[in-house]
A and B are shown apart, each in its own frame.
Chain A
């Protein structure tokens, strides 16, 4: 009896494993065939970007190069952990994420490898590439001020720092510190002004908040329109999405809002990037590089920016109409890596000043 039950269980496990293998094999048959014709026929992508436009670009890449793009989408830190644990056996070739802090983290943990090519250097300015060539930026997003046109004159606005002044008491809206865009914003201040000043800023914002942080970036914009506060700190593309929303009411709200790029006279507006790095133990590093080159070429960059109201990193690419209408702006001039280096510190400051 003992034996028979044990055998039954082992059999069950084997069946399960076999099922797994068969699914795997069947999905791989096409690629194995291709491999015979051309050894470099696929690239495996771990990405934390969830946009439909990305899928379209991967398809286009497949059509143009014949290289199949396989995708697993997940949260950045979970993907990092998975790559780490898969170690040398990993199937991941390219790690793509929407925050430079995560790229930094992947690099620090030794998960990425240096890649470079003339094409990449030409298409992506040095500022948006890792100093060790471990990752490359793909798109930029700016964290800006959005204000209620009826209540605030743009002349009253100047810098992120000015929002901590007493005139703004009870008028500032910003989401929770759990959000990575806020973390990288504060991380940039730690780099520019030092920890002490950055903490003062965070404390000042907490003091001036119109309400305890809740909701996403869009909710901050709506709260400005609703009169809960007068000014919100949010990412550009969320406003772009609202202006082009299917819901006419959202468009109406977005139209009541003005856009202001802060710190133009001083340190520049905060910018974060989406970016990607080739995985250290990649089996298809060449293909991964090809995909990077493809994603930063003019056409892909235009699609990226157009569909999602992000800024292209490739300087030769024309911006989407909406972005053009907001005008050019001065960006923070700090190494992007510092956003990653300072992000843990930023979170501790948020906790210490009680920024929910």
Chain B
């Protein structure tokens, strides 16, 4: 940096620094996806007509049905819970505040296997009715392996995205508005529909778009349930017809749809950024509920918690006891350690990159500065297995490029990076960047640029301001972004499975190993550990968040 003392000049040069850093990161995140984007333009194979005629229409229809209803239900549940927890005090509220995030720790495919395990013919319900009470109910009544069943599973294990993001928003940023409404004597119902709903639109969209993307590219649940969705079409084309090109073409179309939705959302917002740069960002004072209302609030939150977390975990525990000693346990510690290290590393890098790009997006005056970061969400819109192909290709190319370097370092192998954890961690970053970024972006929105400008005006350098002013105020966003990505990576499957180095297992690969072979009981051990590690992480960060200066 030059010695000139003009704030203006400094500001511009600084913007360039962030710009270059951000553009570089975005390119790094985006390049592997390029090979998928170009898939749109590859000429259709001889299978294309068949795919169009027999696979696409019906599959898209069921995908849309799943997405639409899951979105509605996660909004209803997530927002109502967020509203209750942010606004009211009732028995168990402090526990529920963080416990309602826990369902996120159960991978949806494990949730699907577990609920099916509970409800099927040999499951606890039908078994008890049959053996204890001699009642043989119609088994079709307990069948959840259909579209409504899948919506049920997705809703249960994905609603925390909406809940978590919206609750943080309501408790902190929206406090003054809600309080004003309260002083004006508005009823709770009025406040909810006239204040809460409109102002939390952005965070609801933020949360629900994660849910939608998760549903769109999920393959585990629909495969098991026998529902044909867009991702079935992608994998049936690849695995079944052996036509990877066409399957990438399909994935690219999916990406196209996601870009389209992103643009729509951006246009709807009018390209506006919401900033609540009030100096008094403080939590909303709680209204104490008593009597019937308290009972209803507690029962409702308890009900959701029970169905989305307690029941599946109890069932997993039951299976764990049943299969105890039958599943090798010697290396459990290694898997657990692997899981924690790799998820922790990737989540940390995602947050760091998000901070850089988010800051760039915040201070840049260019329009593309707002749009560009959105590109990074693409990784989240593509089924993991397809990203894996793109990542392998990229890393083998990098290895080829670096081959002379390896040789000079005395390494006798042509593949170094692509057989190391670097590839897996990079893939996680590409895939889950959207989750971390979402959180960081809303964090920046919350603090705005006023404090930063003040600090810069006082002659503090850009980097120093970033660390001394911005980061401390962003603590909540950083922590929540980290939890979400960490928990998501912990349960990730297709990438981990295909991109891991030799002899490398994680809890998720272990759980999948058994579940994919219909041995859900044996999968309980690893599944419970995923839940346990996530739960501890969520709890620890909850404690950290509470100590956040108010």
Chain A residues engaging chain B, CB cutoff 8 angstroms:
1-2, 4-6, 8-9, 16-17, 19-21, 23-25, 27, 44, 50-52, 55, 70-79, 81-82, 85-91, 105, 175-176, 178, 180, 183, 211-219, 222-223, 225-228, 238, 241, 245-247, 249-250, 252-253, 343-344, 347-348, 351-352, 356
> Chain B residues with Cβ under 8 A from A219's Cβ?
116, 120, 145
Least CB distance from A348 to B in Å reads 6
Q: Interface digits, B388-432 against A, CB 8 Å rule (1 contact, 0 not)?
A: 110011001001101000000101011111111111010000000
> Chain B residues with Cβ under 8 A from A79's Cβ?
498
Tell me if A75 and B226 are in contact (CB < 8 A). no
Of all chain A residues, the one with the shortest Cβ separation from B140 is A228
Tell me if B518 and A216 are in contact (CB < 8 A). yes
Tell me if B24 and A85 are in contact (CB < 8 A). no
User: 5 closest Cβ contacts across the A-B interface?
Assistant: A20-B420, A20-B422, A89-B414, A351-B54, A214-B145
> Chain A residues with Cβ under 8 A from B409's Cβ?
21
Tell me if A72 and B414 are in contact (CB < 8 A). no
With A78-B498, A356-B226: A86-B396 Cβ-Cβ less than 8 Å? yes
Tell me if B419 and A24 are in contact (CB < 8 A). yes
Which of B9-17, B91-99, B207-215, B478-486 lies at the binding interface?
B9-17
Q: Does B122 contact A (CB under 8 A)?
A: yes
With A20-B420, A81-B244: A213-B226 Cβ-Cβ less than 8 Å? yes
Tell me if A176 and B518 are in contact (CB < 8 A). no
**Majority-rule SS of A interface residues:** helix
Tell me if A21 and B419 are in contact (CB < 8 A). no
Please tell me which one of the listed residues A1, A19, A88, A105 contacts residue B17 in the complex, with CB atoms under 8 A apart. A1
Tell me if B225 and A214 are in contact (CB < 8 A). yes
Least CB distance from A96 to B in Å reads 14
Please tell me which one of the listed residues B16, B498, B521 contacts residue A75 in the complex, with CB atoms under 8 A apart. B498
Please tell me which one of the listed residues A85, A91, A226, A351 contacts residue B419 in the complex, with CB atoms under 8 A apart. A91
Instruction: Give CA–CA (A75, B386) in the complex, Å.
Output: 12
> Chain B residues with Cβ under 8 A from A217's Cβ?
518
Tell me if B226 and A20 are in contact (CB < 8 A). no
Please tell me which one of the listed residues B127, B146, B423 contacts residue A214 in the complex, with CB atoms under 8 A apart. B146
Considering the complex, which residues of chain B in the window 95-141 have a beta carbon less than 8 Å from any beta carbon of chain A?
A: 116, 120-122, 126-127, 139-140
Tell me if A222 and B17 are in contact (CB < 8 A). no
Tell me if B519 and A253 are in contact (CB < 8 A). no
> Chain B residues with Cβ under 8 A from A227's Cβ?
139
> Chain A residues with Cβ under 8 A from B270's Cβ?
none
> Chain A residues with Cβ under 8 A from B392's Cβ?
81-82, 85-86
Tell me if B497 and A74 are in contact (CB < 8 A). yes
Least CB distance from B526 to A in Å reads 12
Tell me if B241 and A247 are in contact (CB < 8 A). no
With A86-B415, A89-B415, A214-B225: A72-B139 Cβ-Cβ less than 8 Å? no
Least CB distance from A231 to B in Å reads 16
Tell me if A218 and B518 are in contact (CB < 8 A). yes
> Chain B residues with Cβ under 8 A from A343's Cβ?
240, 242
Tell me if A176 and B421 are in contact (CB < 8 A). no
> Chain A residues with Cβ under 8 A from B121's Cβ?
222-223, 225-226, 253
Instruction: Give CA–CA (A55, B126) in the complex, Å.
Output: 36
Least CB distance from B160 to A in Å reads 27
Instruction: Give CA–CA (A18, B423) in the complex, Å.
Output: 13
Tell me if A178 and B497 are in contact (CB < 8 A). no
Instruction: Give CA–CA (A90, B127) in the complex, Å.
Output: 51
Least CB distance from B411 to A in Å reads 7
A-B contact pairs, 6 of them (CB 8 A): A6-B24, A50-B517, A72-B502, A72-B504, A74-B498, A344-B47
Least CB distance from A162 to B in Å reads 25
With A20-B420, A214-B226: A223-B139 Cβ-Cβ less than 8 Å? yes
Q: Interface digits, B1-42 against A, CB 8 Å rule (1 contact, 0 not)?
A: 100000000000110111011001100000000000000000
Tell me if A52 and B328 are in contact (CB < 8 A). yes
Instruction: Give CA–CA (A2, B18) in the complex, Å.
Output: 9
Instruction: Give CA–CA (A71, B423) in the complex, Å.
Output: 17
Q: Could you tell me how many residues of chain B have their Cβ less than 8 Å away from some Cβ of chain A?
A: 85
Tell me if B242 and A105 are in contact (CB < 8 A). yes
Tell me if A78 and B502 are in contact (CB < 8 A). no
Of all chain A residues, the one with the shortest Cβ separation from B142 is A226
Instruction: Give CA–CA (A75, B238) in the complex, Å.
Output: 12
> Chain B residues with Cβ under 8 A from A2's Cβ?
16-17, 20
Q: Does B167 contact A (CB under 8 A)?
A: no
With A1-B13, A223-B121: A238-B518 Cβ-Cβ less than 8 Å? yes
> Chain A residues with Cβ under 8 A from B423's Cβ?
20
Tell me if A20 and B416 are in contact (CB < 8 A). yes
Chain B residues engaging chain A, CB cutoff 8 angstroms:
1, 13-14, 16-18, 20-21, 24-25, 47, 50, 54-55, 116, 120-122, 126-127, 139-140, 143, 145-146, 223-226, 228, 232, 235-236, 238-244, 322-323, 326-328, 385, 388-389, 392-393, 396, 399-400, 402, 409, 411, 413-423, 425, 494, 497-498, 500-504, 509, 512-514, 516-519, 521
Please tell me which one of the listed residues B21, B419, B518 contacts residue A5 in the complex, with CB atoms under 8 A apart. B21
Tell me if A51 and B517 are in contact (CB < 8 A). yes
> Chain B residues with Cβ under 8 A from A214's Cβ?
143, 145-146, 225-226
Of all chain A residues, the one with the shortest Cβ separation from B504 is A72
Least CB distance from A135 to B in Å reads 16
> Chain B residues with Cβ under 8 A from A9's Cβ?
21, 24-25
Instruction: Give CA–CA (A2, B503) in the complex, Å.
Output: 41
20 extra interface residue pairs, beta carbon distance < 8 Å, beyond A77-B239, A85-B396 = A1-B14, A5-B17, A5-B18, A23-B421, A50-B514, A50-B516, A50-B517, A51-B517, A73-B509, A86-B418, A91-B413, A175-B226, A183-B240, A212-B226, A214-B143, A225-B121, A246-B323, A252-B122, A253-B122, A347-B236
Tell me if A1 and B322 are in contact (CB < 8 A). no
> Chain B residues with Cβ under 8 A from A222's Cβ?
120-122
Least CB distance from B129 to A in Å reads 12
Instruction: Give CA–CA (A75, B503) in the complex, Å.
Output: 16
Tell me if B513 and A178 are in contact (CB < 8 A). no
Least CB distance from A221 to B in Å reads 9
Least CB distance from B321 to A in Å reads 9
> Chain A residues with Cβ under 8 A from B228's Cβ?
178, 356
Tell me if A8 and B420 are in contact (CB < 8 A). no
Least CB distance from B520 to A in Å reads 9
With A218-B518, A222-B120: A81-B389 Cβ-Cβ less than 8 Å? yes
> Chain A residues with Cβ under 8 A from B519's Cβ?
241
Most A CB within 10 A of own CB, among B126, B242, B400, B494: B242
Of all chain A residues, the one with the shortest Cβ separation from B321 is A246
Instruction: Give CA–CA (A74, B384) in the complex, Å.
Output: 13
With A246-B326, A247-B322: A176-B226 Cβ-Cβ less than 8 Å? yes
Tell me if B422 and A17 are in contact (CB < 8 A). yes
Instruction: Give CA–CA (A74, B521) in the complex, Å.
Output: 21
Tell me if A20 and B389 are in contact (CB < 8 A). no
Tell me if B122 and A250 are in contact (CB < 8 A). yes
Tell me if A249 and B122 are in contact (CB < 8 A). yes
Of all chain B residues, the one with the shortest Cβ separation from A218 is B518
Least CB distance from B406 to A in Å reads 9
Of all chain B residues, the one with the shortest Cβ separation from A346 is B240
> Chain A residues with Cβ under 8 A from B516's Cβ?
50
Instruction: Give CA–CA (A78, B236) in the complex, Å.
Output: 13
Tell me if B521 and A1 are in contact (CB < 8 A). no
Please tell me which one of the listed residues B127, B146, B241, B421 contacts residue A20 in the complex, with CB atoms under 8 A apart. B421
Instruction: Give CA–CA (A9, B140) in the complex, Å.
Output: 58
Please tell me which one of the listed residues B127, B145, B238 contacts residue A77 in the complex, with CB atoms under 8 A apart. B238
Of all chain B residues, the one with the shortest Cβ separation from A55 is B328
> Chain B residues with Cβ under 8 A from A1's Cβ?
1, 13-14, 16-17
